[in-house]
A and B are shown apart, each in its own frame.
Chain A
């Protein structure tokens, strides 16, 4: 236990425990399956948010095209489900039975060859992991090796999101167009629309999400995580120390893309459809705000942020549709101007010192953390070890000797 505590950092452990309690116990017990399914949908976005914490918070790279990877993963899964849903018997009223309905509507008479492999689940799972990662690798490799970053990278990823949306909508016969792929019914004969299936999918999704959080945490705690932070803060210094910065950036971009792909696939399974409205620029930027609200440095915070924003969205767009966009606008501006570290930052800045103060009344515990230089403090709070303020990223800390 102490080892685990040390590994995660105390505040992180509390956050993860709280989240686990909420996701595994409180929510399944307190809501009906309809709401739980909705929460499951939000939790698929949380994969994107977790990926963005790694990419944006740790890597310092802002991608405005995460929806692309979410969509690719979702479409890979949806293609498999769609093929299974359109077997010759249930589609016998079509002029060409055995192909997805939207193909039939678009006068396509045979299944395109690139659809064929998606009849097999292992291929679909492989594809939903590999295709987003591969695209991220191509884009990332081309950009980061030429030292394109920051704003330009954001614009390019946005263009990629636009391209994919236009392509999906334009190639209606092969992709289902604006409506996307609907009426997904079974996976290997297992009806995914029943309540029991939805419960199972919800828990599978939640377990995968926690696995993703732990994996990302492991990366953060490793030398790679420290290097990523250093790279974000002083890229040139890391480069001068002999590291190829581009490789780390490509890695973290691919990681984030793969997480998005998993999230998208779980989305298709739980919600039962996939459409270009989750691919474009607007959803991609919205996903960034999930991570920003939760705290771009905190994996658990990002999940909380995702849940909070989506609950807000559902509630307000049902009750006060007029107000929602204003609220969203205020959220974007407020988070950036006032709380750059989001909910997790608020916790670190206000709740934690308060907790420490209350504990400090007992004589032997040190008082609130000392005021240290800004960069140092943020490094410390990020790794969760507020007791051990790290020095600014220096060669000594990063050197291979430490590993």
Chain B
């Protein structure tokens, strides 16, 4: 094996890690808002992602049948639609379910698990039990090879770019907008926030809906990587929770850092061991670290 081949392996391995990082981060971002900021355990988070994924599938089939000329452009619009649909579903779920249970976090967990079961069966009834994948536009396929023997898949880069965009957006919204100010005030001290005239109920609903919307975008992005089935959301849920918890629940920066750490750890162990053992070792490491440091990597310094 020559040095350049070795270098290519390192590069591609690094890219695989980065790609996993963006997937984990995209999954975790919505949850970081819902769980990290609001403290709501949304077990249906994966299903909101599936909403986004099915939206892409639906729009791609519609465009393919009725307006094949638009195929190259539909994807970006569809991501917007995915956000809106998941946002709406989240709004509804908050109104119907979550708002009654803010004081009982463990019960929220069970109720949202029920919600996720219902949503899965709904998907199955509408789209069938088989996994589907949308027809992707040409420009998302193939790979980019800047040098001999080096292949970087374009869909991976797309997901990465989207993650960057969404993460930037969430940071901006949370730290530079009125909504973000209200959310942070509500998180820090609900009673006080209420007293100074912040409508915390409205803030809660908006926050939950935005978190779900971001989940929808994540689901939409994942259609470029894999196919979508009625239960594919449940595959992500534990990973997403671990990313957020490991990072330190209330810290958005922690979520980014932990997604990076977990992704790198997993892709490096995957290089040496088979997939399932790599997963076991990564998860074990996370759980052990969480047992030693339960507040996560970046704990918010607040008095409790």
| A interface residues, Cβ below 8 angstroms from B | 56, 62, 64, 139, 142-143, 146-148, 150-152, 154-156, 158-160, 162-163, 166-167, 169-171, 281-282, 285, 288-289, 292, 322, 325-326, 328-333, 335-337, 340
Contact = CB atoms under 8 A, between A and B. Distances in A.
A292 B109 CA distance: 13
Place the interface of chain B in its size category.
35 or more
B106 A62 contact: yes
Cβ-closest 5 pairs across A and B: A332-B114, A170-B276, A329-B118, A325-B121, A142-B291
Contact of B291 (A146, A155, A282, A340): A146
Contacts, number: 116
B58 to A, nearest CB: 21
A331 B118 CA distance: 10
Contacts of B157: none
26 contacts: A142-B291, A146-B291, A147-B294, A150-B105, A151-B39, A152-B290, A154-B41, A154-B106, A156-B287, A160-B287, A162-B283, A163-B280, A163-B287, A166-B279, A167-B276, A167-B280, A170-B279, A285-B110, A325-B118, A325-B120, A328-B114, A330-B114, A333-B115, A336-B104, A336-B111, A340-B107
B280 A333 contact: no
Contacts of A169: 276
Contacts of A156: 287, 290-291
The prevalent SS among residues of B at the interface is helix
B97 interface: yes
Given A147-B294, A325-B124, A337-B111, 6 more contacts: A146-B294, A159-B238, A159-B286, A166-B280, A167-B280, A332-B113
Contacts of B104: 336, 340
Nearest to B273: A170
A281 B238 contact: yes
Interface in B182-198: none
Given A148-B294, A166-B283, A329-B114, A158 B241 contact: yes
B100 A152 contact: no
Nearest to B109: A154
Contact of B241 (A148, A155, A329): A155
Contact of A336 (B110, B117, B294): B110
Contacts of A163: 280, 283-284, 287
Contact of B242 (A56, A159, A335): A159
A151 B276 contact: no
Contacts of B108: 336
B274 interface: yes
Contacts of A329: 114-115, 117-118, 121
B111 A150 contact: no
Nearest to B100: A337
B259 to A, nearest CB: 16
